[in-house]
Every structure is written in structure tokens, then in C-alpha cells.
């Protein structure tokens, strides 16, 4: 590991000094000057679980270094904090009530306007490796034909799996293949090989590489043994909102969760080494984010879909080439999932297609105003699966600002937290008379935002009916594993 660490620092040093000098003449192809884009998407990695975010448990040295050289949107949220809705929104820049993927295992329209299609039309090569989970069609393990790949050319993908040690994928033929060993490592190596191939070919065309990992999503105990050995459950420091009765279970699960996180951190460090070695780093945007967080027994709750910070807050780093002239910064702008696509297109110098609902946050990156106006919305449109009604799930809409989270369900006000006074959301202020004026102010703001976005806030079954989905008793879509 020691030579890799030195090399990684050397690459960061090149970025700090601006990298090699630009060629004297501009390339003939205008698309060649556009930045490459690498999109790294983790699954269920909450925003709190990084060294740079203050988590004393976890070891994330590569991402900690990357964060220091990036625009870090510390207020980023997953607008619908569950897998398929987030992925479809990242691809389209549209919210789930518009593209229809507000449940897992429903298909994104093959005719959708997506990031890969827009960039492909602008001359980008496109590659997708890893987890997909926006195809639906009743199976998580079937071959996905080219017409449903949303504009990606190079393709080594499975719809969904969390069997990280025996992970299947498909390429351009219906014969299944398997990643060797821990799938995140194998997927990273495949991405490295793809990058080296482009560098050796000497092509001037820019590229989009979408690399989507399955970890640190449960099962928590399946990280490689050398990473699991780093974390002893009894040494884990819990967040203050984990009840005492869940402490032992939470520590055990967090130890495995952190092991996955550190394994991915090493994968990301190795990927950047390849960018440095190939000379691609100086003109590559890297985005690192997650589709949602993980409660891990904070608030006595598991997993995602909840409006609490551990579920709804996600990491969002933009590592940018020096040529874009944007300095590293921690920004509190309230960026949401639908805002990532228009922001990336603006950084690439491309127009945003009609129908995109997100906003361009490049002005905020440069120190300008927050285009959200200082608030954004987190939704549960249909509670399903682990957050079904039987498990206590409920439809909600939550207004999130730099200081407050206010949520209402179908019955009325539900949650109000002051992040400044109560960062672990231990005191719900929604029913306290002294905070009624604040609650009413946030409620009016939430209602106005929903009206502006065309969100009627109806019961979940009404949206299921409108889109014609046939769901099971816990409102999940039937599928073959």
C-alpha cells in the first residue's frame, strides 16, 4: 500500500499546481476540450460516515484527501432516499413523480432523456459498470438489452445484487458472467482497464464513466476479511440517537458497514492512481455520492426511506479540473438529487435539456447564491418494503434547510428538528407550543414549494394507481432475485 499512497499524494500535488501545461494549439474537435466525467455511486453510504465528516470510527483516507480538493456540498440530500428513485433522478434530472420511479424495481422509460444520452450526443464515450437498478421488468438478475441501457455503450452491469462475493453481471450477450472475488474491487479493476485502454488509444473524445458499487449496503458482514479485521464492534462509538437496547446490534452492524466503507475508499484511491498514470486526471471531473444513507439503528430504525439525517443526507463531492477555475470549498447550499445532472452539464459547457427539473449549482460552487433559495424537499411518496406501513412507514414531505428539518405526513405536522442546537435530532419540536410559529412558517414554505413543484401530496396508493403498477401487500414490486 505504501507506494500507492505516495503516488496518490503525487497526483494531488499535480492538481494543486495545475497539472502539465496546455498544448499550444487547441484540438480540432471542439468536444475534445470538454472535461471527462467519472461518476462514483455508492449504495447506502450516509453522509456522516467519513473521517472528513467527523466520524472517529471509520478509516477513509483517500476520500478525506479527495474532499480537501473538492467542492463538498455538506447539505446534500437524497430527495427520495431509496435506491431506484435516486438513480433514476440522477440519470434524468427529474423528480420521481415526473419520471415515475418512486418505487424500487419499476422501469425507467427507455425513451427518457438521460445524462448518458445527452453526453453521447455531444461526442462522449459512455461506460457503465456495476449496479443499475432502474430497469425493472420483473427481474434483478436478467440480461438488459441495449435499448434499455439509457445511452451507455460499454456495459458490465447487473440490475441489482448484494451478494458481493459471488456477483453476476452481463455485458453485450445474454450469457451471465461473474466478478472475481469482492465485486467492488473487480469492478474498479475493470474501470481502470477501460481508462487505460482509452489512454493507449490516444482518443481525444471525452468520456462518461458511471461506476456504481453495491457496498456499503447490507449484508454488513461480507467485506473482505482484511477490512473486517480493522473494526471491533466493542470499540465502535455510537451516535447519541441510538437507544441503549440497540447498542450491541448497532455496533456489530456498524463494524461491518465501516469495513465496506474502507474497502471502497481503497478502490477509489486506486482508480485515481490510474487517472494520474494515464494523464487523464487533469481534465476529469469526479463526482462521488450515494443513493441514500443508512439509519443503522439511529432513532431505533434500520435502513432508509426515512426523513432523518442518517437516511436522507448523502455525501456529494465534485472534484474539478483546475481549468474550470473553481476552488475547493465546503458549501452549505441545499442541493438535491435532481440538481446533479444540470450542474454536471453546466460544468461540461452543455445546455440543459427541456424537462429537467433540477437547478445548476455551479454558481454556488463559485461562491454565489444558493439556487434552491436555502431549502429543498425530501419525500416518501409510497412507503414500501422495509419502510412499509406494517413497519411504521408513512408518506411524508420534509422541508430541509441548513438549520431545520420540518416534516408533515398525511395527518399534519410530524417532525421539527433544529440541526444547530440538536445535530443528532433527539428533540422533536413539532408539538411544542413555543415552536408553533416556526413550525407554521416552515409548513407554509413547504406547502408553497410543493405547489411550485406540482406535488399534490396524495396517499401513496393513488400514485401507484396512476402509474399502473401492480404491487404486493407491502407495496413492493414483484421481482425475481
Q: Enter the C-alpha cell of residue 327.
A: 476552488
pTM over cut 0.85: yes
HSE-up of residue 294 (Cα within 13 Å, Cβ side)? 21
Q: Enter the C-alpha cell of residue 286.
A: 469526479
Query: Per-residue pLDDT averaged across 192-205, rounded?
Result: 94
Query: Per-residue pLDDT averaged across 110-139, rounded?
Result: 98
**Residue 197 placed within a domain:** yes
Which residues are known to be catalytic? Answer: 83, 133
pLDDT for residue 9: 28
If you write DSSP's letter for every residue of 202-231 in order, what string do you get?
Answer: T----EEEEEEEEEESSPGGGS-HHHHTT-
**Residue 4 placed within a domain:** no
Query: Per-residue pLDDT averaged across 472-479, rounded?
Result: 91
Burial class (CB in 10 A: 0-12, 13-18, 19+), 422: middle
Residue 61 sits in the same domain as residue 165 = yes
Residue 294 sits in the same domain as residue 167 = yes
The pLDDT tens digits for 411-441 are 999 999 999 999 999 999 999 999 999 999 9
pLDDT for residue 154: 98
Domain boundary among 305, 339, 373: 373
Count up the domains in the chain and report the number: 2
Q: List Cα–Cα distances, 91 to 52, 78, 82, 109, 337, in angstroms.
A: 27, 14, 15, 11, 10
Residue 161 sits in the same domain as residue 285 = yes
Backbone angles phi, psi at 100, to 5 degrees: 90, -5
Residue 338 sits in the same domain as residue 218 = yes
pLDDT for residue 31: 54
The pLDDT tens digits for 445-466 are 999 999 999 999 999 999 999 9
**Residue 387 placed within a domain:** no
Query: Per-residue pLDDT averaged across 61-65, rounded?
Result: 98
Residue 64 sits in the same domain as residue 113 = yes
The pLDDT tens digits for 317-371 are 999 999 999 999 999 999 999 999 999 999 999 999 999 999 999 999 999 999 9
Work out the pLDDT band at 479, boundaries 50, 70, 90. Answer: confident
pLDDT for residue 481: 81
Phi-psi region of 457 (alpha: psi -120 to 50; beta: other; left: phi over 0): left
CATH number at residue 326: 3.40.720.10
| Cβ-contact 417, 341 below 8 angstroms | no
If you write DSSP's letter for every residue of 236-299 in order, what string do you get?
Answer: PPPPTTS-GGGHHHHHHHHHHHHHHHHHHHHHHHHHHHHHHHHT-GGGEEEEEEES----TTGG
Residue 85 sits in the same domain as residue 178 = yes
CA angle, residues 301, 303, 305, in degrees to nearest 5: 95
pLDDT for residue 24: 33
**Residue 278 placed within a domain:** yes
pLDDT for residue 27: 38
Domain span at residue 352 reads 33-373
Question: What percent of the chain shows pLDDT beyond 70?
Answer: 93
**Residue 147 placed within a domain:** yes
Question: Which residue, among 436, 379, 371, 374, has the nearest Cα to 408 in the 3D structure?
Answer: 379
pLDDT at 3 exceeding the cut of 90: no
**Residue 385 placed within a domain:** no
**Residue 479 placed within a domain:** no
**Residue 115 placed within a domain:** yes
Q: Enter the C-alpha cell of residue 414.
A: 410530524
Peptide bond into 219 cis (omega under 30): yes
Rounded to 10°, the helix 247-278/2-16 angle is 60
Angstrom distance (rounded) from CA 262 to CA 51: 11
Residue 172 sits in the same domain as residue 272 = yes
pLDDT for residue 130: 98
Residue 364 sits in the same domain as residue 412 = no
Question: What percent of the chain shows pLDDT beyond 90?
Answer: 91
Mean pLDDT of the chain: 93
Query: Per-residue pLDDT averaged across 24-48, rounded?
Result: 78
Residue identified by cell 485515481 is 272
Work out the pLDDT band at 397, boundaries 50, 70, 90. Answer: very high
Residue 151 sits in the same domain as residue 191 = yes
Peptide bond into 216 cis (omega under 30): yes
Residue 401 sits in the same domain as residue 362 = no
Residue 358 sits in the same domain as residue 430 = no
pLDDT at 15 exceeding the cut of 60: no
Residue 171 sits in the same domain as residue 246 = yes
pLDDT for residue 22: 34
Angstrom distance (rounded) from CA 437 to CA 83: 35
pLDDT at 168 exceeding the cut of 80: yes
Amino acid at each position: 500500500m505504501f507506494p500507492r499512497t505516495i503516488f496518490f499524494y503525487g497526483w494531488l500535488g499535480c492538481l494543486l499546481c495545475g497539472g502539465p501545461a496546455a498544448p499550444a494549439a487547441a484540438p480540432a474537435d471542439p468536444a475534445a476540450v470538454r472535461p471527462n466525467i467519472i461518476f462514483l455511486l455508492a449504495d447506502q453510504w450516509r453522509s456522516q460516515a467519513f473521517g472528513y465528516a467527523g466520524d472517529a470510527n471509520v478509516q477513509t483516507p483517500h476520500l478525506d484527501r479527495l474532499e480537501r480538493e473538492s467542492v463538498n456540498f455538506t447539505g446534500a440530500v437524497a430527495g427520495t432516499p431509496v435506491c431506484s428513485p435516486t438513480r433514476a433522478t440522477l440519470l434524468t434530472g427529474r423528480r420521481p413523480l415526473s419520471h415515475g420511479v418512486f418505487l424500487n424495481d419499476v422501469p425507467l422509460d427507455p425513451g427518457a432523456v438521460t445524462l448518458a444520452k445527452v453526453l453521447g450526443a455531444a461526442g462522449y464515450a459512455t461506460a457503465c459498470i456495476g449496479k443499475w437498478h432502474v430497469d425493472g421488468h420483473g427481474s434483478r438478475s436478467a440480461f438488459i438489452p441495449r435499448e434499455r441501457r439509457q445511452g451507455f455503450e460499454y456495459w458490465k452491469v447487473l440490475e441489482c445484487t448484494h451478494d458481493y462475493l459471488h456477483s453476476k453481471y452481463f455485458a453485450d450477450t445474454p450469457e451471465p458472467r461473474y466478478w472475481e472475488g469482492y465485486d467492488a474491487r473487480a469492478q474498479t479493476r475493470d474501470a481502470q482497464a477501460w481508462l487505460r485502454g482509452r489512454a493507449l488509444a490516444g482518443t481525444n473524445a471525452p468520456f462518461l464513466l458511471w461506476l456504481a458499487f453495491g457496498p456499503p449496503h447490507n449484508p454488513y458482514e461480507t467485506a473482505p476479511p482484511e477490512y473486517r479485521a480493522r473494526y471491533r464492534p466493542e470499540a465502535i462509538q455510537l451516535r447519541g440517537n441510538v437507544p441503549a437496547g440497540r447498542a450491541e446490534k448497532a455496533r456489530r452492524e456498524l463494524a461491518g458497514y465501516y469495513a465496506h466503507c474502507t474497502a471502497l475508499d481503497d478502490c477509489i484511491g486506486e482508480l485515481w492512481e490510474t487517472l494520474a498514470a494515464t494523464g487523464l486526471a487533469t481534465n476529469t471531473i469526479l463526482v462521488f455520492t450515494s443513493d441514500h444513507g443508512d439509519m443503522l439503528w439511529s432513532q431505533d430504525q434500520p435502513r432508509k426511506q426515512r426523513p432523518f439525517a442518517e437516511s436522507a443526507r448523502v455525501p456529494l463531492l465534485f472534484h474539478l479540473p483546475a481549468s474550470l477555475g473553481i476552488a475547493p470549498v465546503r458549501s452549505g447550499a441545499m442541493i438535491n438529487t435532481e440538481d446533479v445532472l444540470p450542474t454536471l452539464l453546466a460544468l461540461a459547457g452543455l445546455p440543459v435539456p427541456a424537462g429537467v427539473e433540477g437547478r445548476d449549482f455551479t454558481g454556488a460552487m463559485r461562491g454565489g447564491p444558493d439556487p434552491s433559495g436555502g431549502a429543498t424537499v425530501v419525500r416518501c411518496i409510497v412507503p414500501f418494503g422495509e419502510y412499509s406501513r406494517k413497519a411504521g412507514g408513512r408518506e411524508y414531505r420534509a422541508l430541509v434547510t441548513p438549520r431545520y428539518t420540518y416534516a408533515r405526513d398525511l395527518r399534519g405536522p410530524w417532525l421539527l428538528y433544529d440541526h444547530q442546537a440538536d445535530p443528532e435530532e433527539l428533540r422533536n419540536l413539532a408539538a411544542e407550543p413555543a415552536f408553533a410559529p416556526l413550525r407554521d412558517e416552515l409548513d407554509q414554505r413547504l406547502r408553497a414549494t410543493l405547489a411550485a413543484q406540482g406535488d399534490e401530496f396524495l396517499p401513496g396508493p393513488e400514485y401507484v394507481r396512476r402509474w399502473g403498477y401492480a404491487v404486493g401487500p407491502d407495496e413492493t414490486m414483484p421481482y425475481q432475485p
